[in-house]
Chain A
């Protein structure tokens, strides 16, 4: 049947269907009329009569013409479908017959498509999607800069100057974090929120979905308290009741009227966890509104048509003016000044370099995948050109052979794409789970359909392109004829060898690059985790407590409550010691104060150093295991009195590195220090030097001063309880059990006290290394994918070589070459390519390592051990990949290889 179909199609193909059908019909009808007329003439009619009678009997040709066209269309479609089914069957049979090839090609596509889609899906919304506010590119954050060029928050008065005097800003808003305790309906709950100037939502361009926005008169001290709720808080805590607007709720014991609810799609990018907002209620007369009280985050909207550069020039100019007007309230030296940063840049500042590196890696992996699919198809074409030649000999047309090869490529692409989609979905889930909290908008991440389509299209196009090259070469007219004559000859076909070798070299180089990145990050993480923290982190349980509300009106209320609490906790079975601190190392607490040494007076205290202030209870150093290096620790006597100095003199401890840097060889003991400006703080005498502690991150120690909390001018409402458990068993279960007992004791003491951030140091260290671990995870994924792809690539090329040179190998074997010799001939060829790729990759990695250096810790971007290690790893994998086709070569039967000629 195929022969007949074939001739029909060949006859039909050259002209358009409609013309052809018309011509065929005319020919058929005219033959009919002629035969009929001849028959009628034989019965005695005249030729003219016979012709007319034949036509009459025939009837309408028009209806017939329509029927013929319908027939042709239907048959045409049926033929195409039949061909497709046949090609599909052929492709599936081919893949089943050569499962190694099929698996390699499908795995390549799946990994390439899956990994790149997953990672790009995560990176894209974080880095590139516009922020969910109207005209987001006009929203900027405003910062002061100290003499080192480091950014600082702004003082409230400075913010007011910016808002009033910078004309290129349309509006500005001030914000600070706020964690009110909500009581009343149900259990006490500590909410995360922000106090903001009344202009905040207007500046973002957002309006409440329910109720109204803040008004200017609500943003002042001594006014009625109002608040706006997030949609989620409204749903969860108030059951989505629209009547909540206008109702009073209790925040820190203060009646506060809910005036609005934000839309469900509002994203609080400046503080993702915030669920409630209230006016700042500041006034320049307040002491905390001062210019050097830099705790305000400022955000602004630029005037339409003004560039960020223009705003920056104006803000810098204002900073210069303010420095002159208030010389002791601004740093004067170095790069001190003010700047604005677009919000999008600001939000992605931490993660941008890492994510851009990752995007580069995405592109590389996709390239590797494309290269691989190409090889595999080239090798495959070489392997079965005999089969193609047979088909040519049987008279199959060139177009059909090409099409069936393309269908095979498409079938592979389809399977690869499906598997890739599965990998992408699973991958996105893993990445979102693993992402460190500072990755903004991670909750917006989902599989990006566009990227999936792009990756699929690219790899498929590569497959098609390279599937087409050998198909066309194999079926080139002259070659077609030759092959048809010499079926089974194993002459070299396919792309030039140099081209394929270059692909493998490039692939190995890319893989090595990724492996180096992974190795360096892994080393960084190991070194980071082995850093001494400055304290004994095992057997510690920590939790944050907040004493705010009506019961804690005076400082003395807070102090005596915490004293009672500490005494109770110390009595809990399993507790070896317990203490309270105003901030906890590695917890993201950040509470720095300017420091002035009596022996080194400064003209402008703003130009002095600063350090983390720890207002601690007795027993803090012992509980944390922080060593005292010189002098003494804090003693019971230091906690005996209030800050007014009666009973004992104010004392302070400082850390070793800080003391050395500021005081050199001078003995710090006895030095007098001022912590924080203002009139309330006394000069404190240094009584001891303690070990450096890592406060902000594992990567660096922080300067610190420790003050007895009784001697601080005010009592911190927010404190962290640290508990060291008894005994040597510090397993997580034991720590959790002690933690539970402590919480129960606290609840018995005060059921309304919110206890949050319950954590062991394992948790805190894990959180503080989340970013490095995330970057590492990404690199591990990429490098793993790349290694697999490189192995497939080497395998693909060598399999092609073996297939092409079957006869040569047969001849060699027949002439007495040993199996061993053949094995090494093939393996050696593969390893030479791998080695060339490795050299190229090492050179590229040297450049890349420097780029990665900002993400590294304690290891150079050119770390020799890492480079050597990953090179060795890659060459081992390459050897294995060479081995498989080489073994096949040694098993070739020389007789059958030769007989075919």
Chain B
């Protein structure tokens, strides 16, 4: 019995837009290498739980990025001495993140501008 056109409640998590999780995972790894749970927690913290996704989707994103050579993985140990797979940005990953971030920001500005009636920014 869903109500398709109701407005979302402000505290309800929004399902993540496809592809965004990849960028978020890359962003998580800018400072230091992390294992999968750390990446998941980092995104949850930063979004304050307002994005809805399965934990496995984060791993999907990590694997995809690794496949494309944007990340590299290595087995290491956690503080509690558990074996964990650590992910690290490659140079390509860094470049990809900054380019895609620019693109996404400009994209959402344009879309926001149109939807809210504000004048669209002039192309640089």
Contacts and interface: CB of A to CB of B under 8 A. Distances in A.
Q: A and B bound?
A: yes
Interface of A: 1, 4, 7-8, 11, 24, 27-29, 31-32, 35-36, 39, 57-61, 63-64, 67-68, 70-71, 74-75, 78
The 3 closest A-B CB pairs, nearest first, are A59-B54, A71-B67, A59-B56
B contact residues, range: 20 to 34
Contacts of B64: 67, 71
B23 interface: no
A32 B40 contact: yes
B113 interface: no
B60 interface: yes
B69 to A, nearest CB: 7
A35 B37 contact: yes
A545 to B, nearest CB: 83
A64 B60 contact: yes
Contacts of B60: 63-64, 67
Interface in B65-81: 66-67, 69, 72-75, 78
- The dominant DSSP class at the A interface is helix
B72 A58 contact: no
Nearest to A27: B83
**Interface-central residue, B67, B82, B83, by most chain A CB under 10 Å:** B67
B57 A59 contact: yes
B54 A58 contact: yes
Given A29-B59, A31-B36, A63-B56, 13 more contacts: A11-B75, A27-B83, A28-B36, A28-B59, A31-B82, A31-B83, A31-B84, A58-B54, A59-B56, A64-B60, A70-B67, A71-B64, A78-B69
B54 A60 contact: yes
Contacts of A7: 74
Contacts of A4: 72, 74
Contact of A64 (B35, B59, B82): B59
Nearest to A25: B59
A425 to B, nearest CB: 43
Nearest to B69: A78
Interface string B35-60: 11100110000000000001111011
A30 to B, nearest CB: 10
Contacts of B57: 59
A687 to B, nearest CB: 103
B50 to A, nearest CB: 15
Contact of B56 (A8, A39, A58, A74): A58
A431 B57 CA distance: 70
Nearest to B80: A35
Given A28-B85, A31-B82, A67-B60, A75 B55 contact: no
A74 B37 contact: no
A834 B56 CA distance: 73
A71 B54 contact: no
**Interface-central residue, B37, B63, B69, B83, by most chain A CB under 10 Å:** B63
A68 B63 contact: yes
A36 B55 contact: yes
Given A4-B74, A27-B83, A70-B67, A60 B37 contact: no
A59 B52 CA distance: 12
B39 to A, nearest CB: 10
Nearest to A5: B72
Given A31-B82, A57-B54, A63-B60, A75 B67 contact: yes
Contacts of A35: 37
A4 B66 CA distance: 14
Contact of A58 (B55, B63, B74, B83): B55
Contacts of B74: 4, 7-8
A57 B67 CA distance: 24
A67 B59 CA distance: 9
Given A4-B74, A35-B37, A28 B67 contact: no
25 contacts: A4-B74, A8-B74, A11-B75, A24-B85, A27-B85, A28-B59, A28-B85, A31-B36, A31-B78, A31-B82, A31-B83, A32-B37, A32-B59, A36-B37, A36-B55, A57-B55, A58-B54, A58-B56, A59-B55, A61-B56, A63-B56, A64-B63, A67-B64, A71-B67, A78-B69
A70 B63 CA distance: 9
Contacts of A29: 59
A63 B59 CA distance: 10
Given A57-B55, A60-B56, A78-B69, A32 B63 contact: no
